[in-house]
Amino acid sequence: MGFPGGGLVSDWLFRRTQNFLLSCQLMIFVGLAVAALCVLLTAWNKDVVSAVALITLASVFAYMTPQACWSLLQDIVPAGRIGTAGGFVHLLANLAGILSPGITGFLSQYGGGYHTAFLLASVLALAGMLLLALLVRQKGLNTLRALAASWAAGGGVPVFHQPLPSSIALTSSMQRRKRVS
């Protein structure tokens, strides 16, 4: 329900606002906010049925966000780098999947129970919302698009992709100068 629902809502938001960035950000904000709230409420819930309902609702809303995230990524990243960016996103997601069971177990055993792990999950979702609001702005997107267009038109590699001088090459050239003198 979350995946197709997120795509449909994101498309509807775009048709209403005609602003791609705003529609993606709204979808991500709402999805993460509802998911964080549901997980936070689960932390202090004593009833099993309502806890399952809250976690289910959190999952549905969390799964509404990936479409907007991938759309944003494809809009921001130059076409020649989308595979690298996608691989990096998958690396981070898989690291979270690897680390979260251990962190959850540690927090439930030594941090006072599962509510500490639920609290951490809520805080991380809110941190994601904050980072999206602070770092993904229209002006920055326009700059990235201009750099990508310049690069695609043969204007050279954008500055942030140029390799730095190798310290090995600098060291070997200094050693050659010492031998000559």
**Cα gap 30→8, rounded to integer Å:** 14
H or E element in which residue 162 lies: none
Structure tokens at 53: 């309902």
- For residue range 25-67, what is the model confidence (pLDDT) as tens digits? 889 999 999 999 999 999 888 899 999 999 999 999 999 998 8
**Cα gap 133→137, rounded to integer Å:** 7
Question: Which of the residue ranges 30-34, 93-97, 151-155, 165-169 would you say has the lowest mean pLDDT?
Answer: 165-169
Q: Where are the domains of the chain?
A: 2-136
SS3 64: coil
**Cα gap 55→41, rounded to integer Å:** 9
Structure tokens at 178: 């010492």
13 or 146, greater pLDDT: 13
Category of 136 on φ-ψ map: left (φ > 0), alpha (ψ -120 to 50) or beta: beta
**Cα gap 172→156, rounded to integer Å:** 28
DSSP secondary structure of 149-177: HHHHTT----GGGSPPPPHHHHHHHHHHH
Count other C-beta atoms under 10 Å from residue 93's C-beta.
Answer: 11
pLDDT of residue 156: 55
- For residue range 71-126, what is the model confidence (pLDDT) as tens digits? 888 877 877 888 888 899 899 989 999 999 999 999 999 998 888 999 999 999 99
Instruction: Specify whether the CB–CB gap between 61 and 31 falls below 8 A.
Output: yes
Axis crossing angle, helix 66-76 with helix 138-152, rounded to the nearest 10: 50
- Judged on CB neighbours under 10 Å (0-12, 13-18, 19+), 34 is middle
Considering only CA atoms, give the Rg of the chain: 22
